[in-house]
Homo-oligomer: A and B are copies of this chain.
Amino acid sequence: MQPENNIAELTALDLREEYILVRNLSEKICEPLEKEDYVPQPVPFVSPPKWHLAHSTWFFETFILSNYLPGYQIFHSDFSYLFNSYYNNVGNRILRTNRGNITRPTIETVYAYRQYVDQHMAIILESVDDSRLLDLVQLGLHHEQQHQELMITDIKYILGHNPIFPVYKIGGTLFDPENTEEGFVDMGEGIYEIGHKGNGFCFDNELGNHKVYLHPFSISKSLVTNEEYLNFMAAGGYQDFNLWLDEGWAWVNDNQVSSPLYWHNIDGTWFQYSLEGLQKVNPKAVLSHISYFEAAAFAQWKGMRLPTEFEWEAAAERLNWGARWEWTNSAYLPYPGFTRAAGAVGEYNGKFMINQMVLRGASVATSPGHSRKTYRNFFHTNERWQFTGIRLAR
């Protein structure tokens, strides 16, 4: 269940193939959709699938074609305004909350945009020999993979909040694996190396390989299952303020939270919305769609804690992972020596390094080859529409 190796030391040929694979996957993810599903933004943090398809394309157009392909004509002069996500260096853009109101360009036009950009990217990829350009193409592909996972989770949010619970598709790999291994891995005290090393691709937030001193700890081989979490719920976990962080307790009460996202209690039985529709909760499957607040309260109830991201990385090779993004007890902050790149690309990660927690691992929705053991994912403590889970430490 451990993710494959990531794209590394690619030849130009590899890169051309990789480009096609990644770009095709985005469209494949959308195949089961009706046109209507591409449009809405039910909450600000969920973007329309149409927007993801266009935005990941805009990324290639803006950072590569406009700078590196002589004579390139941008597809449409308003698309930068519509499909820039958060790059202040690139100019104004629509308010994030308005993405779901933009019905034009149509989906057909967005696919035409993708095709136009792909055709021009093919010219570039014929002869990549500029390492800066190679890096940008790789960044663009990894960026698109990030949006692939977001597309899946955003589609789940859109369909899963429809009272008629439409099926996305039957079958596939997006569903809930069961846990097979028991027990804890014991890790010894000492200095560990943390962060990316070597030539393979990584994001800037993984850089700055550095030393961390860890005290002895044990970390669970397995992720928490639905059954364990049902026990927490049955024991009154959502009602006992002593288990919760203060902000977590406010979150529970303000939002009347009493179960993971997508769970519904129908006549005494717990169901969950999955991409195959509404289904009974499988007690053996690994838990998903919980916030940091819930993960921390569960750990408190167990008399354990969440691992730090450093503990996680130190132990990673002895763990299975890849089913869920695993909340750690580390805040998302820069590594020693981190610096933001100049210009728009420098906005990619650094400016988000505050008030979020690090998640490690990968999930069933993560694109093949996208994650690695040094990968630092990050979300706010109340967010749970990703496939997030819990690994305990002590």
Contacts and interface: CB of A to CB of B under 8 A. Distances in A.
A351 interface: yes
Most buried by B among A42, A98, A100, A355: A355
Contact of A242 (B86, B102, B215, B346): B346
A259 interface: no
Interface in A298-334: 300, 305, 329-331, 333-334
A241 interface: yes
B191 A213 contact: yes
A40 B40 contact: yes
Interface string A154-184: 0000110111101000000000000000000
A89 interface: yes
B215 A213 contact: no
Interface string A347-372: 10001111100000000000000000
How many monomers of this chain does the complex have?
4
A40 to B, nearest CB: 5
A355 to B, nearest CB: 5
Given A103-B40, A242-B346, A211 B213 contact: yes
Interface in A101-126: 101-107
A70 interface: no
A351 B107 CA distance: 41
Nearest to A354: B245
B101 A247 contact: no
A107 B103 CA distance: 15
A298 B190 CA distance: 35
Contacts of A383: none
A18 to B, nearest CB: 30
Contacts of A336: 215
B94 A163 contact: yes
Contacts of A347: 242
Interface stretch (A29-37, A134-142, A197-205): A29-37
A212 B212 CA distance: 7
Contacts of A107: 36
Most buried by B among A36, A50, A94, A381: A36
A159 B103 contact: yes
Contact of A39 (B40, B246, B351): B40
Contacts of A210: 215
Contacts of A39: 36, 39-40, 103
Given A88-B241, A329-B334, A162 B103 contact: yes
B162 A102 contact: yes
A247 B40 contact: no
Interface of A: 34-40, 42, 50, 78, 81-82, 86, 88-89, 94, 98, 100-107, 158-159, 161-164, 166, 191, 210-213, 215, 241-242, 244-249, 292, 296, 300, 305, 329-331, 333-334, 336-337, 340, 346-347, 351-355, 381
22 contacts: A34-B103, A35-B36, A36-B38, A36-B103, A37-B103, A40-B101, A42-B98, A86-B246, A101-B161, A101-B162, A102-B162, A103-B159, A105-B164, A191-B213, A242-B346, A242-B347, A245-B352, A245-B353, A246-B354, A305-B334, A329-B334, A354-B381
Given A40-B101, A103-B158, 16 more contacts: A39-B39, A39-B40, A39-B103, A88-B241, A94-B163, A102-B162, A103-B166, A104-B164, A191-B213, A210-B215, A212-B213, A215-B337, A242-B346, A244-B351, A245-B354, A246-B351
